[in-house]
Structure 1
Amino acid sequence: MLDPKTIEIVQSTVPVLKQHSKEIGKRFYELLFAKAPDLYNIFNQTNQKRGIQQEALGYAVYAAGEHITNLDAIKPVIERISQKHRAIGVKEEQYPIVGETLLEAVKDVLGDAASDEIIEAWGKAYGYIADAFINLEKDLEEETKSQPGGWNGYRSFYIDKKVKESDNVTSFYFKPVDGKAIASYKAGQYLTLKASIPGEKYTHIRHYSLTESPGKEDYRISVKREDAHDNSPDGIVSNYLHNQVEIGDKLEFSAPAGDFVLDHSELPVVLISGGIGITPVLSMLNTLVEKQPTRQVTFIHGSINGKMHAFKDHVAKLDDSQENVRSFICYSSPNKEDRIGDDFDKEGIIDLEVLKAIVPTKESVFYLCGSVPFMESILNALVKWGVSKEHIHYESFSPVALLEEE
């Protein structure tokens, strides 16, 4: 445990770090990539360009400092980050250079305000926090490798099938090149792809939700093609998968990971998704139908229109055939061929009015996935309705920490 003086200094300087968290995150990555350019192979460069990764780092730093005497208070953040670290292959020996660079970034941004005493205290705090991550990640590695079909690092898979699910979503089915068993997973988890793309200097790592129920002989991910819009370019990896890889091509994946997983209580379940956020909750829906066919399930999905609506027919079939499943679909901008009552149930967005009308009881377990603004809107509606936060779970495809934080 840290000494009282160190704790006092760290906690008293948290507000300053919080105020400058974005600048510290930006400076940190500038310094880190200058020292260790090979780390470009690990970090998502799109998130770097958009500033999201820097923001997430800044949050993690001040949140850890704020709760330095009780890291259990930010356990969800630690678990989420550790799952991703295990998936992308972060090593124990990489932590020292990260700590050294983080302190340099704090010093550069705060200048004389970051005294030697403050830097020393934060150095001790970083070592304490890093140990917590390292120990948890070692446990995750051992758990992953020791399970039937498990492995550490990356393993080669070939594309067995490609299936178009909508105008911009395609499913990819993968089988292991070595022909051996594959690890099972929990509904809601993801695979991590390491893609070596022709013409790209560094490898690109991406997390993609598994969209089938566990226990199959293959893995399925469903990928949205990210097209250029506003100031954002085409998605490098998603366009590579959609336009360049073919059946039989080989790709590298680490074993399934993630903390956004389906519980197995008997409480009613409400699955709420927006756009490509349907992917992890679809795995949950399929799993519930197979494993808990008497558990009440409400599936609520928001899409732009029918052309962008992935897995439309599959969900509709489950709604028709399963007594315990009810679905409700919102289109924000339906096409002229989209028919209300047939293709979708409401024009507009998912809001509190929809939730109250569709969800049988607020004493349910809620799983949310979609854009950050989408999930913040749903979270606020659920809290306003009086749903317990302990019964609300979410997955973000961006490296944010907690929805309740800016």
Structure 2
Amino acid sequence: MTDEQKRLITVTVPVLKENGVLLTTHFYKRMFTHNPELKNMFNMGNQQSGKQQTALAMAVLAYAENIANPMVLLPVVDRIGHKHTSLDIRPEHYMIVGNHLLESIKEVLGEAATPAIIDAWGAAYQQLASLMSGHEAKLYEKQTIKTNGWTGWRPFKVGKKNIESAEITSFYLYPTDGGHVPMHIPGQYLSVRTFLPDLNLNQARQYSISSAPNEEYYRISVKREKGQNLDANGLISNYLHDFVNEGDVIDLTSPAGNFILAENIAAPIVLISGGVGLTPLMSMLQSLTGKNHTQPITWLHGCRNKSVHAFKDQLDQITSTNSNVKQHTFYNVVTPEDIANGVMEGHLDISSILELHQHPDTNYFICGPSAFIQKQFQDLQAQGINKNAIFFEEFGPQLLQLN
């Protein structure tokens, strides 16, 4: 890119701040009109909710603001790259997206979209596409060189379906070819693809791996969604609950994601979960205890009540057999039995746990709804915890700007 092109991109920043979501909404509508086959690749639930349009607008704005040095966006590029590889997005898809993005800029900006601005954005997009696809090529390569690794979609059989709570069911997934699977890193997720009759589309959704790393199977633990007019995310989860049984086959991509537990970590760990957000943390805990992690491990969990508390018996057993593991549980509604067992009433409140271990080297991992993550992040900072020691996983498009 020339200096003049970079200047023109910077000039459009105020326009993106004011009209970014309008632009990305128009972009998706245009792309799905001209390339309807891409509806099978994009999450239509996130389209329906507007989250994907907002996430893309934020990403385009961040890129424009840092056009002089886009390398500062590498952490974001890595996170998006993991999501793209989990959906089997390839370089040719960037060509389609780029064409519709430039045409959308022309159509939304009208006369303000001068040939010079369009040329600048064309050069900027090519730079971004090269950055993204280059990084994703490295991620694909890492997947293929792993023992038992693969890229793209691979059929898996449901070997076991197990009810974990009133809302959450686990699926144990084994390769149909009888082979093994690469050891995932605790905290990673899988993409699951299935056909949704209600939408007449193939749809994919990411689910955290809830089992300890092994070469035989993956386990995902899925929450049943309630309510009317569910989006595609809810439809996929409920389809798994209602129609996918032991012996059935679904497609998966390789484990992905950078919300991970560092290998051979030798520091105190605090795991903080809300509702179904406990799934990736379950993998972390099982991995830590399996490796005889000697540093303190503290798990804080909040949910509505005991009936929806998944893995409770397993967690109690892990706590009772590992002296370095402690847990603090909060239910919105408690019974006398819950109180007798040490459960606290109300939403999870870090400040109420006086004995919370606060060694300066402690790593904090948070997973749950967006509002839950934001509150725990702020509460930890209020207690003097360095934000660089706090890691979180936001399900769906990344909208939180905390780090």
TM-score normalised according to structure 1 size:
0.94
Deviation, 1:107, is 2.8
Q: 1:392 aligns with which of 363, 380, 390?
A: 390
Query: Aligned ranges for residues 245-324 of structure 1 at < 5 Å?
Result: 245-263=244-262, 264-324=264-324
Of residues 29-38 and 5-14 in structure 1, the stretch that sits farther from structure 2 once superposed is: 5-14
CA distance in 2: counterparts of 1:117 and 1:383, whole angstroms: 45
Runs of 4 or more consecutive aligned structure 1 residues displaced over 6 Å after TM superposition: none
CA distance in 1: counterparts of 2:292 and 2:192, whole angstroms: 31
Percent identity of the aligned residues? 37
Whether the 8 Å contact between 1:352 and 1:385 is mirrored in structure 2 is no
Q: Which amino acid aligns with 1:281?
A: L
Deviations 1:34-71 (A, max 9, x none): 11101001111111111111111111101111122333
Q: Which amino acid aligns with 2:349?
A: D
CA distance in 2: counterparts of 1:18 and 1:295, whole angstroms: 45
CA distance in 1: counterparts of 2:349 and 2:17, whole angstroms: 32
Aligned twin of 1:361: 359
Query: Aligned ranges for residues 21-170 of structure 1 at < 5 Å?
Result: 21-170=20-169
CA distance in 2: counterparts of 1:194 and 1:97, whole angstroms: 22
Q: Which amino acid aligns with 2:174?
A: K
Deviations 1:3-56 (A, max 9, x none): 211112212322321221211121110001011101001111111111111111
Q: Which amino acid aligns with 2:143?
A: T
CA distance in 2: counterparts of 1:130 and 1:386, whole angstroms: 39
CA distance in 2: counterparts of 1:72 and 1:32, whole angstroms: 28
CA distance in 1: counterparts of 2:396 and 2:337, whole angstroms: 31
Q: 1:371 aligns with which of 345, 369, 376?
A: 369
Deviation, 1:252, is 0.8
Partner of 1:181, secondary structure, is coil
Deviations 1:143-202 (A, max 9, x none): 111211111111111111111000010000011111112111100001111112445411
Deviations 1:192-247 (A, max 9, x none): 11112445411010111110111241111100011115x64682111111111111
Whether the 8 Å contact between 2:298 and 2:325 is mirrored in structure 1 is yes
Whether the 8 Å contact between 2:163 and 2:169 is mirrored in structure 1 is yes
Report how many aligned residue pairs link the two structures. Answer: 401
CA distance in 1: counterparts of 2:160 and 2:204, whole angstroms: 21
Q: Which amino acid aligns with 1:91?
A: R
CA distance in 2: counterparts of 1:154 and 1:307, whole angstroms: 35
Of residues 32-41 and 215-224 in structure 1, the stretch that sits farther from structure 2 once superposed is: 215-224
CA RMSD of aligned residues (A): 1.8
CA distance in 2: counterparts of 1:246 and 1:337, whole angstroms: 37
Whether the 8 Å contact between 1:376 and 1:403 is mirrored in structure 2 is no
Whether the 8 Å contact between 2:295 and 2:324 is mirrored in structure 1 is yes
Whether the 8 Å contact between 2:44 and 2:231 is mirrored in structure 1 is no
Query: Aligned ranges for residues 165-244 of structure 1 at < 5 Å?
Result: 165-198=164-197, 200-228=199-227, 232=230, 235-244=234-243
Partner of 2:211, secondary structure, is coil
Aligned twin of 1:382: 380
Deviation, 1:276, is 0.7
Deviation, 1:387, is 1.5
Whether the 8 Å contact between 1:44 and 1:206 is mirrored in structure 2 is yes
CA distance in 2: counterparts of 1:250 and 1:367, whole angstroms: 32
Partner of 1:101, secondary structure, is helix
CA distance in 1: counterparts of 2:324 and 2:159, whole angstroms: 32
Cα 1:178–1:347 change in 2 (3 A) is same
Partner of 1:196, secondary structure, is strand
Partner of 1:339, secondary structure, is helix
CA distance in 1: counterparts of 2:309 and 2:286, whole angstroms: 17
Cα 1:71–1:216 change in 2 (3 A) is same
CA distance in 2: counterparts of 1:307 and 1:393, whole angstroms: 28
Cα 1:133–1:83 change in 2 (3 A) is same
Whether the 8 Å contact between 1:86 and 1:140 is mirrored in structure 2 is yes
Of residues 133-142 and 114-123 in structure 1, the stretch that sits farther from structure 2 once superposed is: 114-123
CA distance in 2: counterparts of 1:367 and 1:355, whole angstroms: 17
CA distance in 2: counterparts of 1:381 and 1:118, whole angstroms: 44
Q: Which amino acid aligns with 2:322?
A: Q
Whether the 8 Å contact between 1:77 and 1:401 is mirrored in structure 2 is no
CA distance in 2: counterparts of 1:148 and 1:106, whole angstroms: 44
Whether the 8 Å contact between 2:180 and 2:215 is mirrored in structure 1 is no
Partner of 1:156, secondary structure, is strand
Partner of 1:78, secondary structure, is helix
Deviation, 1:119, is 2.1
Whether the 8 Å contact between 2:183 and 2:214 is mirrored in structure 1 is yes
Deviations 1:289-309 (A, max 9, x none): 112421211111111111111
Aligned twin of 2:401: 403
Whether the 8 Å contact between 2:155 and 2:251 is mirrored in structure 1 is yes
TM-score normalised according to structure 2 size:
0.95
